[in-house]
Amino acid sequence: MKTLRWTTVALLTAVSLTATAAPGWAEGSSRRTSASDTSTIIVTLDPGTPDPTRAAAAAVAAGQATVTRSTSIGPNTVAVTMKNSGGNARAASVSAQAKGREHIVTAEVSRRVYATTTNDTYYSSLWNINNGASSTYGLKAENAWSTTGGSGAVIGVIDTGITNHSDLNANVITGYDFVSYANSDNGTDGDGWDPDPTDEGDWDDTSSSSWHGTHVAGIAAAIANNSKGVAGVAPRAAIEPIRVLGWQGGYDSDIIAGIYWGAGVAVAGVPANKYPADVLNMSLGGYGSCSRAMQTAINKAVSKGVAVVAATGNGDAWGDPLPLKYSAPANCKNVIRVTASTATGKRASYSNYGTSSAPATIAAPGGSGAGSLICGPTRANCSEVFSTWNLGAITLGDPGYGWMSGTSMAAPHVSGVAALIAARHPGWSPTRLAQALQYSATPMRSCSSTRCGAGIVNAGRAVRVQGFFIKKRSVKTTGTFRVGRKVSASRGRWSPGPVLVRYQWLRNGHAIKNATGRSYRISRTDRGAALSVRITLKRPNYVTRVVRSSSHKVR
């Protein structure tokens, strides 16, 4: 794919499949028990610890555990696998005992996480990307492609791996397989970590293989203008497959190693990543808090300029949505938290949601239940998201296309737009990328910015963002803060200069009615209160900035 000239996407092949992945974000699963009864403890050690893999193994063994494997998964971080027939309680007991050992900062049980996909599989309209689908609440990707298709940006897809597909292959670069458990059945190739991130399938006795990573990769960066199939959000970006999920999901420890490697951080025993990602997409998760080891890995990735995008999850085992503070890794700090939206601009019924302690960042098309949403007068129902897939029910089959829904589908839309921005502004930090995404979002119906994020990601507007206001001189207030006196606000000095400036005077942090001028006359109501001013700066295609002066007590 050399050029991008399409304004619509032709769907020449459409095969409906049934996705039956494990319930999103459920700690338990109906799938059968793993062939090997083991648990993995993630041990974080003091910097400079001599032989950290041996020290970590010794700390776990001190809890009367039989260690079968000890592997470095990142700086000062080791995954120790032990035999365990006692379940989570036994693993928790061993990790608690390990914490008290010399050189050990913390020890945490590595949880299983799952792909965040629901199992509705209908309708092939590209309402999420294609303007011709007549959806007001798609992400307007076509409006971005005349500016950038994402060339030069790398999207690390931390998922089930990838399959051979003519709508993806030209964009796929070398990845890695971090699935550690060596069971040769049900989607595990049996040889632990290796350079081949091919998705082997994740079927079990009750469900077919999901081919989840292939579907996610297609949403983010399927090839456009090739007269076949679908187009991704950033159709000229590179896809770096990082396999961490197989049968029954995957472990925190493998995901952490994948984060480090994807960000270009050395992982012991693994070849260096020659093409570190600009964006890491994690359409996966599990119930619980963000572990220290996971947070450390994310922080390291972000410090190296990598944006980390995480799906907020699809509720509990029954599909009932949860506050995202219970969903890791979306509840980790420094990640872009993505909720799922529908074709009518609402939060999807299954999508976890933000709260004041863990607000959502942004929403993106994830689809909803079958047979409930209409895209336009000439379109069939478009409740799901259509993307690349594999037609094999259990093991690998022919390349194809299919429909899935979930926050798993929402996240790669955001990762794709982040890649479009990164391709145009390679020096912008992950914080800047997130600000540009939020500033350009399409307002969302009946869902607050805390619960759903700033709105639905809008690619067309996002790539037009030119920059940010840089402070040269701070906002301040002048005058005597006494009843009856007039005080004034200075907007400070900014580069570039704002085109529009709005003032709002505040009493004890709350807006004073009709006090929206540069000056304010202090009233008796203000006696004893703290006064300040909030100033909003605007300029076309610059991220809006809101700043506040220091407070002064009225005498």
Catalytic residues: 159, 212, 408
Please give the C-alpha separations between residue 109 and each of 80, 90, 112, 248, in angstroms, as whole numbers. Answer: 10, 10, 10, 17
Q: Where are the alpha helices (DSSP H) in 342-485?
A: 407-424, 430-439, 449-452, 459-462
Please give the C-alpha separations between residue 282 and each of 309, 315, 509, in angstroms, as whole numbers. Answer: 6, 16, 38
Smallest Cα–Cα separation from 197: which of 232, 233, 234, 168?
168
Residue 359 makes CB contacts below 8 A (sequence gap 6+) with 337, 449, 450, 451, 453
Residue with tokens 């597909």: 165
Chain-centroid distance, C-alpha 368: 19
Whole-number Å distance between alpha carbons of 503 and 520: 10
Task: Beginning with the edge strand found earlier in the chain, give each strand of the sheet holding 77-83 in spatial order.
Answer: 67-74, 77-83, 38-45, 104-109
Planar angle of CA 369, 370, 371, nearest 5 degrees: 120
If one counts every other C-beta atom within 10 angstroms of the C-beta of residue 273, the result is 23
Pairing relationship of beta strands 510-511 and 542-548 according to DSSP bridges: unpaired
Planar angle of CA 32, 332, 454, nearest 5 degrees: 110
Smallest Cα–Cα separation from 370: which of 123, 32, 167?
123
Whole-number Å distance between alpha carbons of 17 and 394: 12
